[in-house]
A and B are shown apart, each in its own frame.
Chain A
């Protein structure tokens, strides 16, 4: 049964080993498998930082997202004019690796709020340490359309998408 109506507020907390063992199903096989098998492992090794969202007072994740600091090749971006002579083509960026909402909690804009938090985090950190883009790899065309409506731009032949720091800073008002 889907959750009805808006959720007044959400608590955000880092994934715990206990929470990673709880049942989580968003309906996308890849995301469910990640949460079940890899989320805690990656979080514990600091490869990804996994943040859970829950209803106030609950210790069960209503949704989660994971972020990673990675490097990306500038030659994949559309319209870049950088032609290195054997130098590095890599720049740092923030990757939204996974995001999902537990099926019974879907329909309450939890995913949208988590995305708002991700963009706010990116604008805050990116403007302080110099991260040009928030990137992601859409898992299917529906997801791609969703992020396109959010203002993400396709690159790498449509395999990946990015949101510029300038856009995040304007929307967050930094």
Chain B
């Protein structure tokens, strides 16, 4: 979908594999540093709980 929005001559504007891999590596470092916050766990727990009560 992202690629389809680009024009035929806008190759530099499309995502690249190298940039995506690099972004994943940054994410891995940040995740290792920060872990999962208790607040985020609570948000997901509340969402899942509200599904169970339906």
Interface residues of A (CB under 8 A from B): 7-10, 56, 69-74, 77-82, 84, 87-93, 109, 112-117, 119-120, 130, 132-133, 149-151, 153, 162-167, 170-172
B21-36 CB contact bits vs A (8 Å, 1 = yes)?
1111111111100111
Q: Which residues in B have some Cβ–Cβ distance to A below 8 Å?
A: 1-2, 11-16, 18-31, 34-37, 39-48, 50-51, 53-54
Q: State the CA gap A119–B36 with chains docked (Å).
A: 12
| CA distance in complex: A114, B54 (Å) | 16
Q: Could you list 11 examples of A-B contacts with CB < 8 Å?
A: A80-B26, A84-B18, A87-B18, A88-B12, A91-B16, A91-B19, A115-B47, A120-B47, A120-B48, A153-B30, A167-B40
A78 to B28 alpha-carbon distance, docked (Å): 12
| Chain A residues, CB < 8 A from B39 | 149-151
Among B11, B37, B46, the one with the most A-chain Cβ atoms within 10 Å of its Cβ is B46
Q: Across the interface, which residues of B come within 8 angstroms of A91, CB to CB?
A: 15-16, 19-20, 22-23
CB distance from A13 to the nearest CB of B (A): 13
> What's the dominant secondary structure at chain B's contact region?
helix
With A82-B22, A89-B19 known to touch, is A109 a contact of B30 (CB < 8 Å)? no
B23 touches A133 (CB 8 A): yes
Q: Whole-angstrom distance from the CB of A37 to the nearest CB of chain B?
A: 22
The interface centre, meaning the residue of B30, B37, B39, B45 with most chain A CB atoms within 10 A of its CB, is B30
Chain B neighbourhood of A117, CB < 8 A:
47
Residues of B within 8 A of A69 (CB): 1-2
Q: A88-B19, A116-B45 are in contact. List 19 more A-B contacts (CB 8 A).
A: A8-B53, A9-B54, A71-B15, A80-B26, A87-B18, A87-B19, A90-B14, A93-B23, A113-B47, A120-B47, A132-B26, A133-B23, A149-B39, A150-B43, A167-B30, A167-B31, A167-B35, A171-B36, A171-B44
